[in-house]
Structure 1
Amino acid sequence: MKKAILRVFFKPLTIINRIKKKDEKLIFFYSNLGFRDNVKAFYDYLIENNYNEQFKIVVSINDWEQYVKRAPKNVTFINNKQGIKWFMKAKYAFYCFGKYPIKPSKKQTVINLWHGTPLKRIGHLEKGCENIDYDFFSKVLTSAPMYKPIMADIFGCTENRVEVMGNPRNDEMFKKDRIKDDYIKGGAGKLILWLPTYREYDEGFIISILNKDELNSLNTYLMDNNIKMIVKLHPLQTADTQGIELSHIKFITQDELNRSDMTVYTLLRNADGLITDYSSVYFDYMLLNRPIGFAVEDMEKYKNKRGFIFDNPKEYMPGPEIRNLSDIEEFIENIVSGNDLYKEARESVNDKINYYKDGNCCKRIAETFIK
């Protein structure tokens, strides 16, 4: 009901947006789920390359108050209500979480950066969402030519409006920061990163394949072998990890990363191996060509509840299935010994999923769309 009311409210704004004059020197960013991911990565690139010397940049985000006092020159942080008028002024606009349901003017360039290369069904491919209008952009970006028809179907647009550019957030995996990197590793010989995705049917999900005793056993194994494990919780998860104190397994939240001025991609570039499930983040991690394990014991349930883009998603999961403590230890032992059993399969999938295998996504996007 609320969304229906909002659509009625925003409908006249599309008309106003079409006739409103655009500021050729105004770049606008929007997010309703925190200042992070592709929006933040692309914003950071523009600041690092002094785009704010030539352009005014307005960032409309739900957590805007955290950034107001440290805004760079010609950058303004505002809330999403105030952002409406700035969006309609802007020549250039970028979003990846949420959007204003206002159709772009022909005088605007509105880019849907999205937040990853999908594995699970989203948009028009998700049951019950077939008739929702998602088309509020000039272009939507993706990571490979095979995804052009998929993204067109998801968002209800033509394929010529899907551009293969890669994900801006992936550029961070090709950078180095000695202070942050040393802090993350914490002196460990190897680092294993575990990234569980969000499950609508189990918001408290963390590591369902391990009970408390097995978690303690895993911690002992990691301690004996000088290995650190970080479990990064999904931003929408409600799991409570307070009271879980382990020497070599650390649970962290998105808020903790934000406070440390780090992202998931800071963690990924330092990880010697990744354990995940249905999160598209593993498509990103394949760019580093390191081992990936898949904890997908509830695949049938997830398939029935949410569904996948591909008929057989396991064809796009080049790594061992992680079902129990023994599988975890075997996965880690192979990493330590350099026994990379899935290297060729991973490279084959990576060629399909990631057309560009560099750290220049932001550069491509800026040079293509900001004139």
Structure 2
Amino acid sequence: MKNFLFRLYLAAMKLIARFTPVQDNKVVILNGAGRSGSNGYLFGKYLYKNHPEYEVTLVEPWPSSHLSLKTWRQIGAAKFVITTHQPFKVHARQINIQFWHGIPLKRMGFMANNTSLKTDQRNANLWQKNADVVCSSSDLYESLMSACCAIETNKYRKTGFPRLDALKNPAISKKKLLTDLFKAEDDGAQIGIYMPTFRYEMDDRQIMTQVEQGNFFALPDFDAVKLNNSLKKNHQYLIVKLHPYEMNLFKHLRSSFSNIAFLNNDYLYQLDIDLYELLGNTDFLITDYSSIYFDYLNIDKPIIFITNYLRQYEKKRGLLMGPYEEIVPGVCVKTQQELIKALVMPDQFSQKRHYWLNLTNEVQTDSNCENVFKLLKIEGKL
């Protein structure tokens, strides 16, 4: 019922916005990715800084039923509507440029185990109707997206993704990260970040209970004291960046450990930065089934994969490539004991990382943002 009412709301607002005159230099960014690798937010920052001839409006969060009529008129006036999630535009005079928010690793749309055909068909129709251009990084990316969302091949443009510019050019120094998050000074520090996928969708109350109790890894032998002692011994510091839903479970928690810190969105908004603007200054990544690891390949640093719920996740939603533990470019662990060992292992996966980087990113340029800007100029003249 809520979905039906929201679609009704969107239809009404689009009707109002449709009568606003379109301005050729106006760009509106509908940011549904928050500050966790948002192509939209980061491209907007690029335009603000480098191309003031364009009038940019950032709308976040998106979608939302709480936008003002003024905002809807700004959406209707934009020549370019840039989206990070489902493609959207008010009328045919606009050009929708679809960034999306990650290289697909988890099954979605037609490929997912936990969606309905009716919903998948409706979403595919929206892609076909509203997406004029889909920014891409590789043939593999296009194959995965089309398998899930039935996107026509002529919509793709290999521009690369704006978030990778930020990843390779951090705005926040490693020293500031240590000071802000750990209150530490350590010339030999190695900073890691843990970013799991959205685990709530596994419908396993046991997992969420573990997270609520402080076991953010949801590992069977989790012991925060032992983990912190190991990190401290090896001059390692761990940033824990959970999905926003899981972070809500931690609102009452503050890490009492010297080498473990929770990163929430408040820190990012206070500094007016995206996660990727500090991610490049981390030294290793820990994840499970999050597609962030494809992006992390661009800075060629070690990745550790937690796979204790792999079979359950494959059954519930599914992954687009496999066997997972054989193809990922890093050590796979199922216990904290294995994780602690992996954290001090010599890196032996550089060659495998380069292999997957070449498959997922064929756009090797200095500025993906500049590539997208050139695309605006070309599409605006058509």
Q: Which TM-score band applies after superposition, normalised by the shorter structure?
A: 0.7 to 0.9
- In the alignment, the residues of structure 2 paired with residue 358 and residue 315 of structure 1 have an alpha-carbon distance, to the nearest angstrom, of 30
TM value normalised by structure 1: 0.84
Cα deviation digits, residues 188-215 of structure 1 (max 9, x gap) = 4211211112112355642111655x22
Instruction: Find the partner of 2:229 among 220, 243, 254.
Output: 220
The aligned runs of 1:111-126 (5 Å cut-off) are 111-126=97-112
1:281 aligns with 2:292: yes
User: 1:73 matched to which residue of 2?
Assistant: none
1:1-371 equivalent positions in 2, closer than 5 A:
1-11=1-11, 21-32=21-32, 34=34, 37-49=38-50, 51-52=51-52, 54-62=53-61, 79=67, 82-97=70-85, 100=88, 102=89, 104-105=91-92, 107-126=93-112, 127-128=115-116, 129-133=119-123, 134-135=126-127, 136-177=130-171, 180-185=173-178, 186-188=184-186, 189=188, 190-199=190-199, 200=201, 201=203, 202=207, 205=211, 206-209=216-219, 211=221, 214-237=223-246, 238-240=248-250, 242=253, 244-334=255-345, 339-370=346-377, 371=380
Q: CA deviation at 1:295?
A: 0.4
Matched residues, number = 348
- Residue pair 1:96, 1:114 contacting (<8 A) in 2 also: yes
3-state DSSP of counterpart to 1:270 = coil
Q: Distance in 2 between matches of 1:59 and 1:198?
A: 25
Paired residues of 1:291 and 1:342 also in contact (CA < 8 A): yes
For the residues of structure 1 that align with 2:276 and 2:35, how far apart are their CA atoms? 14
Take 1:239 and 1:12, find their aligned partners in 2: how far apart are those partners?
Answer: 35
Residue identity (%): 24
Q: What secondary structure, in the 3-state scheme, does the structure 1 residue paired with 2:97 have?
A: strand
Q: Residue 173 of structure 1 contacts residue 359 of structure 1 at CA under 8 Å; is this kept in 2?
A: no
Q: Which amino acid aligns with 1:196?
A: P
Q: 1:20 to 1:138 in 2, by over 3 A?
A: farther
CA RMSD of aligned residues (A): 2.8
In structure 2, give the amino acid aligned to 1:155: C
In structure 1, give the amino acid aligned to 2:249: A
Give the aligned residue type for 1:39. G
Cα distance between partner residues in 1 of 2:111 and 2:90: 22
1:250–1:316 CA distance, 2 compared to 1 (3 A): same
Structure 1: 4+ residue segments shifted above 6 A: 12-20
Q: CA deviation at 1:274?
A: 0.9
For the residue of structure 1 that corresponds to 2:280, the secondary structure is helix
Give distance in 1, aligned partners of 2:142 and 2:367. 20
Identify if the C-alpha distance between structure 1 residues 125 and 35 changes in structure 2 by more than 3 Å, giving closer, same or farther. same
8 A Cα contact 2:236 2:259, kept in partner = yes
In the alignment, structure 2 segments of 5+ residues that lack a partner are: 179-183
* Contact 2:165/2:369 (8 A) holds in 1: yes
Deviation at 1:368, TM superposition (A): 1.2
> Secondary structure in 1 aligned to 2:363?
coil
Indicate if the aligned counterparts of 1:35 and 1:61 stay in contact, CA closer than 8 A: no
| Distance in 2, Cα, partners of 1:340 & 1:255 | 33
> Alpha-carbon deviation of 1:41?
0.6
- Residue 4 (structure 1) shift: 2.2
Q: 1:30 to 1:357 in 2, by over 3 A?
A: same
Q: Secondary structure at the match of 2:81?
A: strand
Q: So what's the TM-score if we normalise by structure 2? A: 0.82
Q: Structure 2: which amino acid aligns with 1:367?
A: K
* 1:287/1:357 contact within 8 Å kept: no
2:28 is paired with a residue whose SS is strand
Contact 1:27 1:92 in 2 (8 A): yes
- The residue identity in structure 1 corresponding to 2:185 is G
